[in-house]
Structure formats: C-alpha cells, structure tokens
Amino acid sequence: MNLAAAYALSKANRQRMNVEGSFQHILTDLYAFIATAVAAGVILTTGWDRADPVATLLVAGLMLKAGLGLVRESGRVFLEAAPRGIDPDRVHTAILAAPGVVGVHELHVWEVTSGFPALSAHVLVDTACDCHGSRQDLEAMLAATFGIDHTTLQVDHRDEHGHDDDGHDNDGQNDGAVRTAAEAHRVMARAHAGHAGDLRSTGDHHHPGGC
C-alpha cells in the first residue's frame, strides 16, 4: 500500500507543499517498513539484536532530513523570501534592460505559497513610452523569463527633469520611497514663512498608475 501511494504521489505536482509533505510522510513510512524487515532478517539469521535500534536511527535520520526540507520551504513563505531559483538581482537587471525603462524602485519578489511567486515594483519609463503598454510587456517578460505570473507593477513616466511623478530624483541612488510627511512639513514651513511661490511650486499630486 505504501509503495503504491508513494508512486502515485511522486507523479503529482510536488511543488505544492502539502503534496510534498504527504509524499515525504508516505516515503518515510515505506523506509520504516523496509528497515524493520531488514533488521528482523539480520536478527533472525545472525542473532545481532542491535540491528533494530540501528534501523530505527536510520529511519529517524531520513525523517529529520525530510522535515528540515519542509521547514526550509515553509520558512521561505512565512518570511516572504525570494522563491528558490529566482534571483532578485537578475530580475532587477532584466526589468531595467527592457525598452524604455529608465528606473526600477521598491522591487519585491516573494513566494505567496509554494509554487506561487509574486512580484511588485515601481518602474519608471521614458516620457515617449506608453505606461500601460510597457507594463504589459514587462508582465509578459517576467512570466516568460522567470515564471512570475502574479505581478503588481506601478509604471510612471520620468519627467523632463529626470524625476518621476512624485517628484523623486531618478539618479539610481534613491530607493523611491515616498516621503510625504517630510515633504508636507517642509511645505507648511515655507508657507508659514510667507513663501507663497514655493508653496505653489510643490502642488503636484501623484495619481496611481502614473499615466
């Protein structure tokens, strides 16, 4: 029975953690059955009764190996780590190399559940590019190259001064985080000091999606 169950599960989609856990459970049961039979044969033929605890330790070691693998994979999901086989640096380079892309910020690649990678990023494109078309091209590239089908991309135009629509500098050293509280504080300070012209010059607002 264990042999048939192990064979059936080996043909299933073992990228799913619950399927892999069931397979490892059945497999260790099969190992335990084989080890018990071998230990019994050794004891009957040689009288060496230590064969049983030796077999027990071998099975325990196999169970520990299987358990550590499952804990490692589940840890990737709980800690939102990058999926196995996907290098975020390579993803960043591939996005930046796409036609029209001039900047990538806030890139996050993680695993929602086993076998389900996800990605989010803020991408800046040249003002001559269509934001929606660029987003679709990037989604297709990420699916074909890295197998990432679930993506959330915010694509904005870089303005003529080299800033995105939020007014952040696009020099490659900025992490793209929106500092709205600090900006609001500076605006209020300038307004209080009577610099009405400065207040008007900072009145642009970012709209989700960018264009």
Closest to 111 measured CA to CA, from 12, 16, 24: 16
Q: Residue 116: is its pLDDT beyond 50? A: yes
Return the domain boundaries, the chain.
2-78, 88-201
More confident site: 207 or 49: 49
In contact, 141 and 149? CB cutoff 8 Å: no
pLDDT band for position 182 (cuts 50, 70, 90): very low
CA–CA dist 88, 171 (Å, integer): 20
CATH architecture of 88-201: 2-Layer Sandwich (3.30)
Residue 25 pLDDT > 80, yes or no? yes
**SS3 at position 110:** strand
pTM over 0.85: no
Please give the DSSP secondary-structure letter assigned to residue 173: S
**Neighbour tally for 161: CB within 10 Å:** 8
Structure tokens at 54: 């030796």
In the chain, alpha helices (H): 2-10, 17-46, 51-78, 88-96, 131-146, 180-192, 196-201
Q: Which residue has the higher pLDDT, 166 or 27?
A: 27
State the virtual CA torsion across 76, 80, 84, 85 in degrees, nearest 10.
Answer: -170
